[in-house]
């Protein structure tokens, strides 16, 4: 991947170019920031640049043998570690899934974590980086570089590492062989061991600026009207996959909003002693019929709308970005979301996401959730 193909993030590109040109490439980098802002794309571009045989001032040549291999993700000195799903197998490692990973990544380097999880595991379970992986990493870094100046190990979502893997990885991060670069890519660095973070040079990725994101969406979706693209970018909050999802899954998002409205109305009626057992069962059944990842997306949608209603309740309309349907609903509903309600609702939705991610029983999770939400009113 070229630096020119990375959307926005001009300052980070310049920083990485400086490191490369001045031979100051560290042994370990930690790219942090919201998902969808280009951390993985930048890691690929930087890996290609530091190994380019004819580098230009601002980018790789994209013509030499090294660039061809890096751009197709097949260079023998480029290695990946990423969450996988073991299932009933006693031992699996990332190389067992490397073709799937390459195929997935070559289609689009900007994606949500949930999209990879579904691609690799569907709804069978939550992917992890298992303990066996660290032995593979150690073996790879101890082999002499085949062709490249720098051997690069990109670890996507290191927070998904089994604790044993993380502990074993520490020494490799601290004292890797010369011309070995680890790039860790994390959307939740607070979940990493502090000892791992301390061994890395941290680069924090901001949200993609609106101008760059609008330009990208216009090029990718030339048939959409500019006003729709602008609203999509505003709702996407600096994330490319979020923007794409808003355009491509408009019906899904409308369904999530309808479910949110239904849940809040049902919760209010339950609190006021109205017999709504049948409606409650139907609601839970409707949510549970969604895939695990869609259940999670629905809960994330709940978090966003709850936050917006809290802001409206506190006369902070300038900070709120929502659709016309959401705006019409919030005009009446925002008054029910003061600070205490918003805080508790955020906790309930976040806890539900946590349990969904860990393969909890969805029927129990959402039945419990509707009772907790009803106690807010």
What pTM value is reported for the model? 0.70
CB contact at 8 A, 79 and 152: yes
Most confident range (mean pLDDT) of 62-66, 87-91, 247-251, 257-261 is: 62-66
Question: Is residue 320 in some structural domain?
Answer: yes
pLDDT tens by residue, 212-222: 988 888 888 88
Query: How far is residue 224 from each of residues 229, 232, 242, 244, measured CA to CA in Å?
Result: 7, 11, 16, 12
| 268 falls within a domain | yes
Task: Check residue 334 and give its pLDDT.
Answer: 84
Q: Read off the tokens for 180.
A: 């070995």
- Name the domain count of the chain: 2
Q: Closest Cα to residue 107, out of 256, 237, 8, 244?
A: 244
Sheet strands side by side (includes 180-186): 78-81, 151-156, 180-186, 28-32, 201-204
Find the domain containing 105 and state its range: 3-206
CB 129, CB 82: distance < 8 Å? yes
Same domain flag for 41 and 177: yes
86-90-91 Cα angle (round to 5) = 70
User: In this structure, are 262 and 197 located in the same domain?
Assistant: no
Read off the pLDDT of each residue in 245-250 and give the average, rounded to a whole number.
71
In a domain, 95, yes or no: yes
Return the CATH number at 144. 3.40.50.300
| Contact (Cβ atoms closer than 8 angstroms) between residue 137 and residue 153 | yes
Residue pair 52/61 in contact by the 8 Å Cβ criterion: yes
What are the phi and psi torsion angles at 216 (to 5°)?
Answer: -65, -45
Secondary structure (3-state) at 338: coil
Same domain, 136 and 269: no
pLDDT tens for each residue of 260-304: 988 888 888 877 666 777 888 888 999 999 888 789 888 988 888
Whether 74 and 154 share a structural domain: yes
Q: Taking Cα atoms as reference points, which of 156, 235, 160, 221 lies closest to residue 193?
A: 160
With a cut of 80, say whether residue 327 has pLDDT above it. no
Same structural domain, 182 and 76: yes
């Amino acid at each position: 991947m070229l630096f020119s193909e990375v959307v926005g993030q001009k300052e980070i590109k310049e920083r990485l170019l400086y490191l490369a040109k001045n031979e100051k490439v560290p042994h370990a980098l930690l790219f942090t920031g919201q998902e969808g802002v280009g951390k993985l794309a930048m890691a690929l571009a930087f890996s290609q640049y530091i190994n380019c045989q004819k580098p230009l001032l601002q980018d790789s040549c994209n013509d030499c043998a090294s660039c061809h291999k890096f751009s197709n993700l097949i260079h023998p000195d480029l290695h990946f570690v990423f969450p996988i799903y073991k299932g009933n197998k006693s031992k699996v490692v990332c190389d067992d899934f490397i073709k799937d990973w390459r195929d997935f990544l070559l289609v689009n380097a900007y994606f949500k974590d949930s999209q990879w999880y579904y691609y690799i595991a569907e709804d069978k379970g939550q992917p992890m980086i298992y303990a066996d992986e660290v032995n593979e990493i150690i073996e790879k870094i101890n082999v002499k570089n085949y062709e490249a100046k720098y051997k690069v190990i990109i670890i996507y979502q290191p927070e998904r590492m089994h604790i044993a893997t993380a502990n074993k990885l520490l020494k490799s991060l601290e004292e890797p062989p010369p011309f070995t670069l680890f790039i860790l890519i994390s959307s939740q660095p607070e979940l990493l061991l502090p000892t791992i973070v301390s061994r890395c040079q941290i680069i924090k990725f901001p949200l993609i600026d609106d101008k760059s994101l609008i330009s990208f969406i216009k090029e990718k979706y030339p048939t959409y009207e500019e006003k729709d693209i602008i609203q999509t970018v505003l709702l996407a909050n600096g994330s490319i996959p979020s923007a794409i999802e808003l355009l491509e899954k408009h019906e899904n998002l409308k369904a999530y909003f309808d479910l949110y409205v239904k849940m809040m109305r049902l919760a209010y009626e339950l609190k006021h002693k109205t017999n709504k057992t049948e409606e409650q069962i139907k609601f839970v059944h409707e949510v549970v019929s969604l895939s695990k990842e869609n259940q999670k997306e629905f809960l994330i949608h709940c978090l966003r709308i709850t936050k917006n209603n809290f802001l409206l309740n506190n006369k902070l309309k300038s900070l709120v970005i929502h659709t016309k349907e959401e705006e019409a609903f919030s005009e009446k509903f925002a008054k029910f979301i003061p600070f205490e309600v918003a805080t508790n609702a955020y906790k309930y939705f976040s806890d539900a996401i946590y349990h969904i991610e860990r393969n909890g029983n969805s029927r129990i999770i959402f039945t419990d959730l509707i009772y907790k939400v009803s106690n807010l009113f």
